[in-house]
Structure 1
Amino acid sequence: MKPLHRLLLLALACLGGVSASAAESFPLTDDFVAYMKSVTNPHDFGRRDGKFFPYSTRYGRRIGYGRAVGDTALYRAGETPAAADQHLRSGLAATAAELATWLAREFPDRPFAALDRTQQELLVDHAYTEGVAQVNRAFAAAVLRADWDALLDDHLYVRGLGNWPDTIKNRAFGQRWIYGDKTKALRPLPRAG
């Protein structure tokens, strides 16, 4: 973990924003952050003149890597890629802490810190994009059991708004966990004829 990110997580922990144990049990790797960028804004929507500016999505106005626009000054000033990256990292760390609390309540025998990296990433990925309160309990149970058949067969396209699947998020998930790097594939695909 980069020193700046460790310092940020410790500062958030001191302020009560992130549990120190959750922050330490889920160090943000550059690989995971790059993946989350492909989930939240793979086409750099809103980027011009070296900055990110607000863009429209079905979820409302966003900036950078899917962050809700909360400050109207961003419409004029924009946000640097470094600031967008930092907001993403902070959001992922806060999500991991909130998810650890949710897991302690919903699955008390499965603490977040005891999960393997794949399980942590899958849960943080979905909790960050959909919100911890919207994590499907059956999806989480499949991840906790490492039941990749159930996960892929029953919960593959769980992300979307209402009955409208979010193809960007679902495609990024497929590229990382199914079709991409064979060392990360949850379940090997059968070979084509």
Structure 2
Amino acid sequence: MLDTKNKLKECLKREKKYYITGKKRHDQLVEWLVNDPSVRIWKYQKALRYTEYYFCQKGIKRLPYLWYRSKRNRLGLKIGFEMVEGVFEPGLVIYHSGNIVVNGFARVGEDCQLHGDNCIGNNGTTLEAPRIGNRVDIGVGAKIIGNIEIADDIKIGAGAVVTKSFLTPGVTLVGIPARILKKGENQIGE
């Protein structure tokens, strides 16, 4: 929860390095001027984090929440993201824009990665949504659905549909419905 200015600044500093990649000021300026896809994602994520911060404030200090929420929604509409404040812990990385939907009841741990075209949501019969651990890598087109739990350090392969809990850390999930990829199966790069 980003309830203090220091937590907000620390979170933004931690996440910005994934989006603004130019090493020199000139390169960073070019990224901004050409509206690089990573810059668009960063603008959205920054608005999301400010929304989280101002949501936690009390009284008149909460007024900017409305502005940042509106900004987040406008940017999300342009790049295809639907997320709400309070779902992601610090360290979120989004690699591609387009069609990422995250249920407001979901909880996602630190240093998680979304590769695009993802859905983290309920199963349509209840409001309960996934609880995802730290350092989970969610591949392109992967969907995580229902009142399930995903352990730390799991990789979810492209196109996988996860509808049940996986509590063993460090495994790779593939397929529809998702299953644990066993050693020796067609693993690229091994």
TM score, norm. by length of structure 1: 0.28
Instruction: Determine which structure has the larger helix proportion and give its number.
Output: 1
More RCO (CA 8 Å, sep 6+): 1
